[in-house]
Amino acid sequence: MAGSGSGSGSSSSPPCASCKLLRRRCTQECVFAPYFPPEDPHKFAIVHKVFGASNVSKMLQELPALQRADAVSSLVYEANARMRDPVYGCVGAISYLQQQVSQLQVQLALAKAEILCVQMQHDDGHAQSASAAAALAPAKQQFHHQQQQQMECEAYGSLLVQNGLMMNTLNGTGEVHQQQQMLGGFGSAGNTAMMLQEACLKKESLWA
């Protein structure tokens, strides 16, 4: 008899965490046994402290067997949140996450606005460069035209010097002796430049 009793005692399973905490006999029909194993007594303890064992038992009995595991997970999460924040519980955690999402959305909007501003400044820079180049085009053409006229005047003056006609152009007479005297008075570079300028003016009046 003793041997048979010891054998039956060894084959019996330990009570679940809820029955062990409530100090009652755990049967095969125990609604807590599949979800509150004896290895994790804290899991049922916190749910019992927040919701009460009777309320949890009624809730699980009203649900289908396939949904009871998810319901227990939700109860455990809500119980832990309620222990951390007795006032708001899970609502406080959800509110905190929503605030973080709102802040990130604002930062994202600011970043998009900065990118748009940079793109607009880049486009405006290209447009200003194009307009500045278009505005400088007439000035460049005028500058090249003036350079071309100056080169023509210098070429015309050198041609007059080579052909011996500069004195006749400046004096308007054909006397070689007076031309040589005038040439003697134009020894400096400034006088030579004035002579070339007058020659160019005479050339332009002749071509006109």
Span 5-38, pLDDT tens digits:
444 333 467 899 999 999 989 988 899 999 999 9
Residue 163 has pLDDT above 50, yes or no: yes
86-99 residue pLDDT tens: 888 889 889 999 99
pLDDT at 93: 87
With beta carbons less than 8 A apart as the criterion, state whether 33 and 26 touch: yes
pLDDT at 71: 94
Question: Residue 189 above 60 pLDDT?
Answer: no
pTM higher than 0.75 for the full model? no
Domain coordinates of the chain in residue numbers?
Answer: 17-84, 90-124
Q: Using CB atoms within 10 Å of the CB of residue 48, give its burial: 0 to 12 exposed, 13 to 18 middle, 19+ buried.
A: buried
The pLDDT mean for the chain works out to: 75
> Percent of the chain having pLDDT more than 70?
60
Confidence of residue 166 (pLDDT cuts 50, 70, 90): very low
pLDDT value for 126 = 73
What is the pLDDT at residue 103? 95
Q: Which residue has the higher pLDDT, 154 or 73?
A: 73
pLDDT tens string 172-187? 444 444 444 444 444 4
| DSSP letter string, 102-166 | HHHHHHHHHHHHHHHHHHHHHHHHHHHHHHHHHHHHHHHHHHHHHHHHHHHHHHHHHHHHHHT-H
Does residue 31 or residue 141 have the better pLDDT?
Answer: 31
The 10s digit of each residue's pLDDT in 43-75 is 999 999 999 999 999 999 999 999 999 999 999
| The pLDDT of residue 127 | 72
Please answer whether residues 21 and 41 qualify as being in contact, where contact means their C-beta atoms are separated by less than 8 angstroms. yes
- What distance lies between CA 121 and its chain's CA centroid? 14
pLDDT of residue 194: 59
What number is the average pLDDT over the span 152-171?
A: 56
pLDDT at 151: 75
